[in-house]
Amino acid sequence: MMRETSDTVCEVVLPDALLRLYPEAERRLAVAAADVGSLIDELDQRWPGMGACLRDSRPSVRKHISIMIDGERSALETKIAPGATVFVLTAVSGG
């Protein structure tokens, strides 16, 4: 796990649909992670099973999940700048 210091921590915003599955999770939280993959690892450590909701076994960010950093859709290997805000979003889908 990454050392939590002010220069490695980002802010993460989780979507309502995920919070329904994990009602004990926080909507906004601070996470120490250098890239999106390690961010998902950290979320899964805090709330077991959440990682599989966001990342498939390819491994990739799930097809209908968007993880946005600075307005850009990111992949598992996308770096996260210290202090960045990371939005986890459910893409338009369903029927």
Q: Which residues bind other proteins (CB under 8 A)?
A: 17-18, 20-21, 48-49, 52-54, 56-60, 62-65, 90-91, 93-94
Q: How far is the CB of 94 from other proteins (least distance, A)?
A: 6
In three-state secondary structure terms, 46 is helix
Nearer to other proteins, 32 or 86 (CB): 86
Which token pair is 71? 């307005």
Pick between residue 6 and residue 93 the one whose CB is nearest to other proteins.
93
Starting at the earlier edge strand, list the strands of the sheet with 72-73: 28-32, 9-13, 85-90, 65-69, 72-73
In the complex, least distance from residue 62 CB atom to other proteins, rounded to whole angstroms: 6
In the complex with other proteins, the residue whose CB is nearer, 7 or 77, is 77
CB of 83 vs other proteins, minimal distance in Å: 27
CB atoms within 10 A of CB 14: 21
Contact between 23 and 44 (Cβ < 8 Å): no
